[in-house]
Structure 1
Amino acid sequence: MSEKTALPVGQEAIQEKGWWKAHRFLILRRLTQAFFLGLFLLGPWFGIWWVKGNLAGSMTFDILPLTDPFVLLQGIVGQHWPEMTAIIGALIVGVAYALIGGRVYCSWVCPINPVTDAAHWLHDKLGLAKGWQPKRNTRFWVLGMVFVVSALTGTIAWEFVNPISMLHRGLIFGMGFAWTFVLAVFLFDLVVSRRGWCGHLCPVGAFYGLLGQGSLLRVSAVNRAECDDCMDCFAVCPEMHVITPALRGADEDTPIILSPDCTNCGRCVDVCAPDVFKFTTRFDTTPAPARASRRNKQRQPEASRAA
């Protein structure tokens, strides 16, 4: 372990790169989340109907249909054949996330992400225990159960309890029972299971992870030879198990993070002082040649003096 593990997470990156570069993807994520949510609220709040609907299904400028393919499939297994506009909308969304990475939805669009991030921040501040950690494949069992219940009941089952939809309804219609679901997710991540909701239970994340398995956009530990073992990337990653194969792999192993669990949130890029990580494509598989590390650079003057 490096002595730098004693520093606050991201502190070295702030010192080396400046505050903006050490937080840029986090800030951009918050802006995009607020942007997409704001588009849906323009109509109900201000009467500006550029976008009608919500993240489950919408129509932009009365021209562009967008449909959550997860919702569409629930309707189909529930024996409700969708209209052509819904099918086109689902194809548009599905192809987009298949190319850029399915779980980009989780970190850049989903309005519940700031809720779970806030719970994780408070969890760390309070020094709470890790808590119960269900197996990561639990979310796939939940995903399967959603389709089974939809088939048995003839409904879009997840929408009855979906905290994303509940948050949207709460913002439009005011505080009410819908907020109970959002609060439950926050408390679950805070006191029951650290990063438990998105990382272990949410079927939406499971679905989009499957959708984006072959996506082009990836994070790469391209400069992994420069890693100084500060562990900050592991501390901020919501799916920290995805980092190890790329960062700790042998020379011949790909530096690309290929796991569909990766949300492409960019926090590992933010907090890494030696710039080990970068966004790239899945075809950029060659690690960069090792540069002279800062540790060696610091030793060179000492060696010169000794000579």
Structure 2
Amino acid sequence: MSGKTKLPVGQEAIEKFGWLRAHRFLLLRRASQLLFLGLFLMGPWFGIWWVKGNLSGSLTFDILPLTDPFITIQSMVAGHWPELTALIGAIIVGVAYALIGGRVYCSWVCPINPVTDGAHWLHEKLGMPKGWQPKRGTRYWVLAMVLAVSALTGTIAWEFVNPISMLHRGLIFGMGFAWAFVLSVFVFDLFISRRGWCGHLCPVGAFYGLLGSKSVLRVSAPKRSECDDCMDCFAVCPEMHVIAPALRGQDGDTPLILSPDCTNCGRCIDVCAMDVFRFTHRFDDTPAPGRETRTRTQPASGASRAA
């Protein structure tokens, strides 16, 4: 590690590029989340019905159907074949996320993401231990359990406890008991398990991760030889295990982050003062210089500072 790890996360990027540049993808994500939520709320709040429905299923301009494919699959295993419009909507959404990146939903659309990000921010500010960390495969077991319960009960099981739907309905009809579900996610991430909900338990994230496992949009580390070990990218990444294979790879290894767990949030790009990361596509896999090359040819700037 370099001496720069003592600096606040992202501080050098702020000093080098400015605050806006060092938060550009975070700000774009918040704008995107507000946009999607606002489109659904314009109807019930202001009578502007450009979009009717919610994230589970909607109709845009009375023409374009969009359906959550996870909801559709639950309906099918429960024995309820969806109407043609809903099926078409599920195919449209499924193909879009399969191409763009499944867990883009988690970081750019899901309204629970600001809740869990807020819990993580407060967790770090309070200096709390990371707490209980379920295995990352737990969310896939939860996903399988949801589908099994749907099949056994003949219901769309996850919708009874889905905090995303609870938050949406609460904003329209009044939060009421829905606050308990949203607050429980916040409390879980704050006190029990750091980044536990999205990173370990949420079956929606698990589903979209599988859906986008071969997606085109990727984050890459083409300048990894310039990495100075500040560790800021690991600090801000909600799925930090996805970074190491691309960043720590040897000569000839792909610089692409290929793990389906990556949410394409772009925070690693924001906070990197060395401009190591960027968005690209999965076919841009030209091997990048590895860390061994950097070690042989030049010292890490962070190491020189520490000295």
TM-score over 0.5 for the alignment?
A: yes
Alignment of 1:11-50 (within 5 A): 11-50=11-50
Pairwise CA distance, 1:61: 0.5
Pairwise CA distance, 1:200: 0.1
- Check whether the contact 1:102–1:215 (CA below 8 A) recurs between aligned residues: yes
- Check whether the contact 1:131–1:192 (CA below 8 A) recurs between aligned residues: yes
Alignment of 1:121-270 (within 5 A): 121-270=121-270
- Secondary structure of 1:259's counterpart equals coil
- Secondary structure of 2:106's counterpart equals helix
- Check whether the contact 1:224–1:287 (CA below 8 A) recurs between aligned residues: no
Pairwise CA distance, 1:175: 2.7
- d(CA) in 2 for partners of 1:84 and 1:62? 15
- d(CA) in 2 for partners of 1:274 and 1:294? 14
Pairwise CA distance, 1:262: 0.1
2:57 paired residue number: 57
CA RMSD in angstroms, aligned pairs only? 1.5
- Secondary structure of 1:225's counterpart equals helix
Gaps of 5+ in 1: 300-307
1:276 paired residue number: 276
User: AA paired with 1:164?
Assistant: I
- Secondary structure of 2:142's counterpart equals helix
- Check whether the contact 1:226–1:293 (CA below 8 A) recurs between aligned residues: no
User: AA paired with 2:200?
Assistant: H
2:82 paired residue number: 82
Question: C-alpha deviations, 1:37-77, integer Å up to 9, x for none?
Answer: 00000011011111000000000000000000000000000
Question: C-alpha deviations, 1:109-139, integer Å up to 9, x for none?
Answer: 0000000000000000001111000000000
- Secondary structure of 1:133's counterpart equals coil
- d(CA) in 2 for partners of 1:122 and 1:262? 23
- d(CA) in 2 for partners of 1:7 and 1:13? 11
User: AA paired with 1:125?
Assistant: K
- Check whether the contact 2:254–2:288 (CA below 8 A) recurs between aligned residues: no
- d(CA) in 1 for partners of 2:37 and 2:247? 35
- Secondary structure of 1:23's counterpart equals helix
- d(CA) in 2 for partners of 1:46 and 1:19? 34
Question: C-alpha deviations, 1:212-241, integer Å up to 9, x for none?
Answer: 000000000110000010000000000000
Pairwise CA distance, 1:18: 1.2
1:303 paired residue number: none
- Check whether the contact 2:167–2:175 (CA below 8 A) recurs between aligned residues: no
- d(CA) in 2 for partners of 1:195 and 1:132? 10
- Check whether the contact 2:107–2:264 (CA below 8 A) recurs between aligned residues: yes
Return the TM-score normalized by structure 2.
0.94
Q: How many residues align?
A: 297
2:111 paired residue number: 111
- d(CA) in 1 for partners of 2:274 and 2:53? 44
Return the TM-score normalized by structure 1.
0.94
Change (3 A) 1:135 1:176: same
Question: C-alpha deviations, 1:15-43, integer Å up to 9, x for none?
Answer: 11111110000000000000000000001
Moved more, 12-21 or 264-273: 12-21
